[in-house]
Structure 1
Amino acid sequence: MSTTRYCLTCDLKDDPKLIAEYKEYHAPGNAWPEITASIKDAGIVDMQIYLFGNRMFMIMECDETFDPNKKAEMDANNPKVQEWEELMWKYQQGLPWAKNGEKWIEMEKVFQL
C-alpha cells in the first residue's frame, strides 16, 4: 500500500497550563474514540504530533482513499468532531498568516535527502 505524507503546523496558546492540558488530551488512550475513528475513517493510517514551545508539527500518512476536502466535509457533519474541535480552540490559536478560523496549515516541503 502506498501512502502520501502531509505535514501541517499549528500553534498552541503560549500558556504552560493550557499546553499541559492539551498534551493530556493527546496522551496515549486519552483522545476521544470518536475522534480517532474519524481520523482512520478518512484514510489516515498514521498521525503524529510534535511540539516545541507552543509550535506544533503534525505528520499524517494517508492511504489512497484520503481526500482533504472529503475529510473536511466529514468533520463538518460529525457532531462529536465539532465538539472536539471547539474544545481544542481553547488551546490552539491560528498562525499569523492563517485564514480566519483556520488552525492546521499544510507545510511546503523544501528539502528531501
Structure 2
Amino acid sequence: MTKGIVKFFYSNKGYGFITSEDDLDIFIHFTDIIDEENYYKSLSKGDKVEFDIIQEEKGPKAINIRIIERSSVVEYYKETGYSRRSFPTPKKEKLTEVDGKKETSFRSFDF
C-alpha cells in the first residue's frame, strides 16, 4: 500500500486529491474510502492515508483508502487563516423613542 496526505477534499462533491510519498497528485472519490467508524465518508486536508493505486483514463486513482491519522482541526484553521475576526462586525444598534416608548433597531451586516 502507498501512503500519502490529503491535499484537498470537497465533501459536498465527494472527491479530492492525495499527494503521495512520490509527490504525485492522485484522484480520490468518497466511494473508495474505507471507514467503518463513520457512515459519512469524508476526508480533511492533512489527513494521513494509505491506499492502493489504479491507473484510469484520466490518470491515477486511489482505491481502498484507509485513514492512518486524522489532521488536527487547529492545524487546519492555522493553514486556512481562519480567525474569529474573519467576519464583519455588525453595526451598533440604535435606540429611538417613538410615542414615548423606547425602541431598539438593529442594522444587519454589510458585505
Please report the TM-score for the alignment, with normalisation by the length of structure 2. Answer: 0.24
Structure having the higher Rg: 2
Name the structure where helix makes up a greater proportion of residues: 1
Q: Which structure is higher in RCO with an 8 Å CA cutoff and minimum separation 6? A: 1
**Structure 1 or 2: more strand by fraction:** 2
TM-score, structure 1 as length reference: 0.24
